[in-house]
Amino acid sequence: MARTKLNERQLDVLRRICHGETPITSDDSSIATTVYALRNRGLVTTTRSDGRWSAAPTQAGLQHLAHSDATPAPRPSASAPSTAPEAAELITRLQQADGTLRIANPTPNERAHWRRALHAARADHLIPEGHHLQHAGRDKGDLVITLRPGPPPRRSTPPSETLPVPDDLPPDRLHPAAATAHIPACPDCQPRARRILHALCHTAETKNYTVSNTEPGSTASLVITIGDSSFPLSFHEGSYEVPDPSGAKYAWQRVTARTRRPSHELELSLEHTYTHRGRRSHWGDRQRWRLEDKLPTLLTEIAHRAHTDYERQQALQRKEEETRQRWLTAMQQARTAFLEDHRLKALRTQVQAWQEATAIRAYCDALEDHHVTPDVAEATTAWTTWARAYADRVDPIPQNPGLPDPPTITPEDLRPYLRGWSPYEPKRK
């Protein structure tokens, strides 16, 4: 497997993992697929911590790289060294150029040859004592190689968090939640599973999380609560099929029945929810690790989900408060508009009454100035007298009117002014 031919990009990433000055982590998503391909071939490993992975070479990867770099490459252009002798020449040119060599926008092949020279200079210990090599422009732009005094900078690898699980623990010393948890596992796995829960409970409580048992009828083993978010944890034990000879009546009969037996491989899982879709939710025993090794990652995932829930809740509350403020503003504007219409209605009523009274008096004056015969004069006088009395009653001017009293406002009175808002709660229709 270690001699499987790699393409140029895979070789370049392998060199960066083996001899690069900066660690290769999941932060560089552009090379993640290449790292996975190298891992599948057994040339590198990836370890996770705090939700991110970092790559490290295996012995097979180091051997493969040494074999690949020792194989003669096609002769490059005159400006791009690619073999060990040119690596020594690179060091000489750097010393003559005061420690800095700039290659203006080289081609991809030239970049690869310069990187080989850098690797050869490091691998063959050609770098002057007390100095180290650095370079910039690995993939694009000018390639700048510098020879710097002092030791090379240390690789910053994320600290690996551990969560100790006791190898043996008497039942009376178990955490109460771990001692009474529902664990669907075989009797042989029960002690180990409870020790795992015991370690989880104590570590969670040191982080000020709340640990509790599940409600009756729940399939979960434990609930860890952070703030307002609760996360049920469920234990599972794997199984495998084997022939079941109990179904055969005779010794010569072919056994076709199958039965399942526990595999003693434990798995802890978080509830799969729509709000956290795409997140990892299962941790268990594998060929290269045990469940105990993944407990820190599990707690990190719980903390991430709690933070996500908190941020989502805060955003929801902010949105609800913004909606409430908009509704309150709409309600206030609706009350103002309703009162304005109420006053306009009162004003129009008064103007109409005043216009009517004025018109009646003008009519009475015209009627009295009109020549009437004696036989109808008395009736006309009675009519104008009544008419003037009516005009005096409806005329608002003598009453010195002011602002009308505000009416009693009901929610339904405001509905026509709310432009789709409910008059009862901050919601739209």
pLDDT one-digit tens code per residue, 91-103: 888 888 888 888 8
| Averaged pLDDT, 261-268 | 90
pLDDT for residue 175 is more than 60: yes
How big is the CA angle at 185 (ends 182 and 187), to the nearest 5 degrees? 105
Residue 44 corresponds to which amino acid? Answer: V
* Assessment of whether the complete model's pTM goes beyond 0.75: no
Higher pLDDT, 155 or 246: 246
Phi-psi region of 421 (alpha: psi -120 to 50; beta: other; left: phi over 0): beta
CA distance 233 to 302: 10
pLDDT tens per residue across span 344-396: 999 999 999 999 999 999 999 999 888 777 778 888 889 999 999 999 999 99
| Averaged pLDDT, 266-270 | 93
185 Cβ contact list (under 8 Å, min separation 6): 193, 235, 236, 237, 262, 266
pLDDT value of position 154: 64
pLDDT value of position 71: 56
pLDDT value of position 208: 92
pLDDT value of position 75: 43
pLDDT for residue 21 is more than 60: yes
Can you read off the two tokens belonging to residue 332? 């206030």
CA distance 154 to 108: 28
Could you identify the residue written with the tokens 């084997």? 242
CB < 8 Å & 24+ apart, contacts of 257-265: 262/185, 262/186, 262/188, 262/189, 262/237, 262/238, 263/237, 263/238, 263/239, 264/186, 264/188, 264/189, 264/237, 264/238, 265/237, 265/238
**Mean of pLDDT over the chain:** 85
Higher pLDDT, 421 or 32: 421
Confidence of residue 81 (pLDDT cuts 50, 70, 90): very low
pLDDT value of position 73: 46
| Averaged pLDDT, 297-315 | 93
pLDDT value of position 219: 87
Higher pLDDT, 372 or 53: 53
pLDDT value of position 55: 85
pLDDT tens per residue across span 116-162: 888 888 877 788 888 888 888 877 788 889 988 888 776 544 455 67
| Averaged pLDDT, 95-118 | 83
| Averaged pLDDT, 282-293 | 90
Residue 65 corresponds to which amino acid? Answer: L
CB < 8 Å & 24+ apart, contacts of 233-236: 233/200, 233/268, 233/269, 233/270, 233/298, 234/268, 234/269, 234/270, 234/271, 235/181, 235/183, 235/184, 235/185, 235/193, 235/266, 235/267, 235/268, 236/184, 236/185, 236/266, 236/267, 236/268, 236/269, 236/284
pLDDT value of position 386: 96
pLDDT tens per residue across span 191-219: 999 999 999 999 999 999 999 988 887 88
pLDDT for residue 62 is more than 90: no
pLDDT value of position 324: 95
Task: Check: CB of residue 144 under 8 Å from CB of residue 44.
Answer: no
pLDDT value of position 52: 74
Can you read off the two tokens belonging to residue 13? 């990433």
Helix (H) or strand (E) holding 243: strand 229-243
